[in-house]
Structure 1
Amino acid sequence: MNDEHPTRQAIALIVDDDPTMRMLARQVLEQIGLEVEEAGDGQEAVRLFKQVRPAIVLLDVLMPVMDGFEACHAIRHLPGGSHTPILIMTGLDDIESIEKAYEVGATDFIAKPWQILILSHRVRYMLRTGRVLEALRESQAGLARAQQLAHLGSWTWTLRTNQFTVSDEVVRILGLSSDQFDRTPEAYLRNVHPDDQELVRQSLEEALALRRDYEVDYRVIRPDGEERIVTERGAPACDEQGRVVTVTGTIQDITVRRNAEAQMFLSTFYDRLTNLPNRVLFEERLRQALESAQQTGETGAVLMLNLDHFRRINETMGLMAGDEVLHAVADRLQDCVRKDDVRTGPTHHPSPYTLARLVADTFSILMPHLRTTRDAAKMARRLLAAIQQPFSIAQKDITLSASIGITLFPSNAADVPTLLQQADAALQSAKAKGGTRFVYFAQALSANQTERLALEADLRRAIQQNEFVLHYQPQVDVRRWAIRGVEAFLRWRHPTRGLLGPGQFLSCAEEAGLTVAIGEWVIGAACRQQKAWHEAGLPPVRVAVNLSPAHFRHQGLVETISLAVQDMGRSSEHLELEVTESMIMRDLDHSLKVLKHLKALGVRIALDDFGTGFTSLRELRLLPMDAVKIDASFIQEAGAMEGSPGFTAALITLAHSLKCRAIAEGVETQAQLEALQRAGCEEVQGFLYSPPRTAEETTQLLTKKPDPQARNRPAA
C-alpha cells in the first residue's frame, strides 16, 4: 500500500452508534481506498476486530453496551491489537476524557464534528506512521533474532547519568532475567570473573583516556556458576568539546568457538593416545632450540627411542592392549624426563626437555641445553632402564626393551629434518646391533651412509627400468557399498629385496631429489590404468594420486597433469590429486595459483589428512577442493561417537560446509562405519572393504555389482 492510495486489502473499522456519522466516515475512507466495516457499539467492534483484523479503527466514545474507552482497552489486549492505530472520535473536549483515551491505548483523537479533509489527512498520517512503526518493529525483532543466533549483544553507557542500557541478548549471555540485571557498569562488572575484572576496567579506562576503540576477551560467571568466555568491543563517542559522552559496544559469547579452538589445538599439536606433544609440536620446539643453540653456542641433543619387537604385543595381546602399553610407556618416560630438573642456585626449575610421541611406538626427547654431551648418554641409560622394568598390562606382567639413537646439534646438522634423519639412522643402527642400547649418530654414520648410497643408486635404476607398480585401495559409497574411486599406492618391485612399501625408500628418494620423477611416473601410470579400465568397458571411477610436497612446488606439475589426462581416455574429472594442509600452507598464495591451474584442467582436488593441520576456516574456504580425506587417526575414535558428535563428526560437518565430499580413511570395523554413516560421511576407505590390491585384483572388484549387505561381512 502506497501513502496516497492504500490497497483494497486494507480494512478500516468504523465504530459509532450514530448511522449518519458512520456513513460520512465511510465515504471519506472509501475515497482514500480503504475497505470499510461498521459496528454500532464497542462489543460488536471487539467481535469484528477479531474477524477482520483492520488496519485502522475509528472509535466513538459515547456508545451503548460498551463505550469507546472499554472497547479500545479490549482491542489492545487482542492478538494483533497492540499496535493497530486507533483514532478516538469524541465530542468530549475536556482534558480528562482526552487523557483517559490515551491511557486506554488510543493512538490519537479527533473532535466531533470533524471536517472531511482533516479526517482524511489524519487517517492517511496514522496509516503511514503505523507502517513505519511496523517495519521498525520487524527490523528490531530481526536484529534481536540475529543477535541471539550469533550470541551477540549490544550495549550503551551514558556517562552523565551512568545508565548502562543493554540488549536482551546481553542479559541472556549473563544467564540472568531482565529484572535481575541492575543497569549500571558496576553491576555488569560484578558478573565478570574476579581474575578478569581489572583487565576489563583497565581496557575501558584506557579507551576513555585515549578516546579510541578497544577490544578485550574475558570470562563471565553465571548465577549457576557456569563460566562463559566473551569478546567485548567498545567505541567512545565525544561531544563538540571532545568530551566522551557515551560508549557503545557489543558483547559476544565465544565460548563454543574457544572450546573448538582448544580442541583443534590439542588435536594438532598433541598425541591423542598419550597426550604427549606430537611430531608437529616436537619439530617446532626443535627448530626453536636449534636457533637458540646457533646463537648461544650451546649444545643440544635429540634422542629417538623405539620399542624393540613391539609388533608382537599387538599380535599376541591385541590393539587395545598395545595402546595400553604405549600409554604406560609414555607415563614412565615422562617420569624420567621430569626427574631431570634444572638447578639454578638454590632453586629448582621444571625440566626444559620435551618428550613427544612421533609415530606408533617411536618417541623422541629434545634436550636443548646440555651441560656436557655425556648428559645425553645419562638420559638414554635412564630411559632404557625404565623401559626394562616390568609393565602390568591386562593382568599380565610383560617385559619390554628399547633402542635409542642420539644426535647432537648444532654440530651435526643445522636443520630439523636432517637432525631427525640422523637420530633415526642412529636408532636403526642400535636396532641392527641387537637393540636394548643407544648409539650416537657419529657411530652409525659410515654403515648407514653406505646403505643409503646403495639405495639411492637402486632408486635411479628403478625409475629407468620401470620397477615401480601401483596398488589400488577402493573408496566406497557408504550407502550403496559401491566403489566410487580408488587411491593409488606406490610399490617397488626390487630385484633382490622383493616388494617394498614407500616407507622403505621414499625418505631416500626425497634426499636424492627423486620424488618429482617418481611422482610423474605415478601420475602417468594411474592415467594409463584408467585408460585400460575404460577400454575394458568398466564403469568410470576416480583414481586418486598423492602429490609430494616437492612435486606440488615443481613448476612442471601442471604440464605433467595436462599431458597425462589427454591420454587417459576419460574426462579429466576422473583424476583426483591429493594434497595436504601443510603443503598448501607453506606458501598459500602460490598454492592457490597452482590449484587454480589444476582445476582449470578439470581434475579434482582432495585435501588429505584433513584435521591434522592448523589451517583456519577462512583459509580453508579459499581452497578449491572437491573432497576432504579425514585422517585415519581420527577414525579410530569413530566407533565411540554414539551420543556425542565427536571430533570426527565435527570434521565431517566442516567438510560439508565447505561443499566437499567427506572420505574417511582407515575404516576397519563395522562400528566405525556405522558411526561415520550417522555423521553423514559419504565415502570410506580401509581394510573393512579391502586392503590395497594389484591392478588385476582391483579390476575384478570393479566388475562386481554393489552389494549393500556386504557391509556386514568382513573383507576377503
Structure 2
Amino acid sequence: MPYNMAENGNHPLPEMEFLKRRVEYLEQTTQWHSYAMDVLASMTAIFGDSARNRDTASILKNAHECIDRILDFQQTGYYIVDDESSFNLVYAPSQEDKTSIEAEVEVFIRNGMFSWAINQNHPVCLPSRDRQSTIILHVISTRTRIRGMFAGRLGEERVGTTESALKLLSIVLFNTAYALESAALYALMEQQQRTLKKITERQSKELVHQYSHDLLTNLPNRILFVDRLEQSIGRRASRDAHLAVILLDLDNFKRVNDSLGHKSGDLLIKQLGEDLRKVFLGNELARRYGIEASSITLSRLGGDEFGIILDEVDSLDLVVRIVQHLIEVISREHDIEGHQVFLTCSVGISVFPYDGDDADTLIKNADAAMYDAKQRGRNSFQFYTKDINSQTYRQLILENQLVKALAREEFEVHYQPQVDVISGQVVGAEALVRWRHPEKGLQPPANFIAIAEETGIIEGLGAWVLQKVCQDIRQLTRDGYRIPRISINLSARQFRQSDLVEQCRNTIRSAGIAPAYIELELTESTIMKDIDIAVGMLRQLNALGVRLAIDDFGTGYSSLNNLKHFPIDTLKIDKSFVRDIPGDRDDEAIVTAIVALAKSLELEVVAEGVETREQLGFLKRLGCEIVQGYFFSRPLPFEGFREYLKGK
C-alpha cells in the first residue's frame, strides 16, 4: 500500500521535491557514467599507434586531453622520473601552467608532502600557497614502477568534485604509466635494433676487409689488387699517362725462414710492408716525383711477393726512377729480433696497354719480367718485352737516349724564315729544334718532342733552345746583319714552370740582346687550360719585353672574349688551314675570318705552311702580311740561315 504523506500529517510537497531531485540526480549520474565510459574508451589514444606518437610528450599530451574532459583543472603539470630518480616537469599545456605548478610543487617538495604523495595510490588534495585553491597530486605508476607525478590546480568552486571523477583520474594516470612503460620498452627495443645493426655492419665491413686484405701486413691482397687494376684499366679514357704494374719478389727469402724460422720471416714481411707503406702511401713519392698516393695501390700478393699499381704516371722514366728507389728501400740490412738480414729483390714491370689490355695479362707479363730479372742476376728490374723491338722497350730506350742527347749537345736549332709578302724582306724566323741522332741521323721534332714533354726533358731542352737562339742573335748582331725577330715554341710543361719568367730574363740578359728580338709561341690549348694563370704569366712575359704569339690559331678553343684580354702580338694561322687554299671553301672562310679578326684586334698575322704561289696570292689578297713555308725556304741550320739573310 502506498505511503500516504497526508495521513501521517506531512505536507505532500516535500515528497514531490524529493522525488524531483532524485530523478535529476539519477539522470546526471547516468549522463556522467555515459561520459565516463566515453572518456575511458578514448584512453587507447594514450598508448599511440606508431613510432611518431609513442614518445613521452605525445603520451602526456593525449593523457591531458582525457583528464581535461574529466575535471576542470585551472592549471596542470606532468612530472617524469629520469634515470637518476629525479622528477622533472616535462609537459604543461602552457608556460603559465608550467611556472605556476612548479612553484606549488617546490613548496610540497620542501615540506615533504610530495614524497608522501608518491607513496599514495590515490589523489592527494593539498591547499595551495595562497589557500585560494586546491592542488591535487597523483602519482603516475604501474603496479611495479613509478613513472612520474601529476599536479593540477582546482578552484574552490570545484573542490567538491565527485569521487567518481577522481577515480576516473586514477584510471587515466594508471594507463598513462603503462603507456610510458611500453614506450620505454619500445625505445629500448629500437636502440637494441640500432646497436645490432651497427654491430652487423661493422662485422660485415671487417669480413669484407679480411676477404680483401692480407692479415699479416694489412695491405690489399691479390683479390683487391686485381680488382683495383681492372678498375684502373676501365677508367683509361686517355693514354697520355701510363699505367704500370710492378711485381716485387724477395731474393732467397727461403733462407730467412730456414735459418731464423717462420716467425722471424713473418716479422720481416710485416716490417717490409710498413716500410713500403711509408714510401708509397705517404708523402715521399709526391715530394720526390709528383705522384699522389691516390694513384698508387700497394699489395701483398702472397709469400714474399708484393705488387704495386702506378696509375697516371707521366713517363716510363718516372716508373724507372720509382722502381730504382723501391729497390734501394729493400736492398739493405734489416734488423729482425736482433739478427741482421741483408735482402735484395727482383722486380718485373708491365705497362698498359703495350703489354696487355686486361689485368690477368698485365700481371702475368710483369711476373715473367720479374722472373727474367732473377735470371739476369737478381737485385734488378726488367720491363716485359715480347722482343727487343717492343714498344715499351723502344720508348724506354728513346727516353734514355734523349737524356744523353741533351748532355752530349746532339740537338740543333734550325730557322725557317718568315717573309713580308709586300717587300719580300725577312722579318722573322721560327726556331725549330732538331736531333742529330748518332745512328739515325737528323730527327724531326715529331719523333721526340712528345716523349720529351712526358718525361720532363722538355724543360731542360727548352732552356737550351732559348740560350742557343739568344747566342745566335748575338752572333748575327756582331756580324752586322739586320736582326729579325726569332719565334720560339713553348710547350705546355714549360709554360707551367714557376721560374719561366726569371729563366727568360736571365738568359736574355746574359746574351746581351734586346728582349724584343724574342717571340714566344704558345698554342691555344696551352693557354686555355687555366685562363687566370695564363693571363698572369703572359703579362709577366709581356712586361719583360718579349713578343707573344698564339701558335696554330683556329685549332684550339679560345673565345674572342678571352682573346682580347691576352697581351699578345701575333696570331699564327695553322698550316692545316693553308694546305687546301685556294679551293677548299671551308678553309678559305676560316683563313679569311682569322685575318679579319687579327686586323680588328690590331695583331700581326702569320700564315704557316705556304708552299705554292696560289696560296701566297690568296693570302696576299686577304691582307695577310707575313708568311712562312717551303715556298720561301725550308728550316735552315744557323749557317744556312745566315746565307739566306745575306741573300735577302
TM category, shorter: 0.3 to 0.5
Higher helix share: 2
Larger C-alpha radius of gyration, 1 or 2?
2
Q: TM-score, normalised by structure 1?
A: 0.38
Q: TM-score, normalised by structure 2?
A: 0.42
* Larger RCO of the pair (alpha carbons < 8 Å, separation 6+): 2
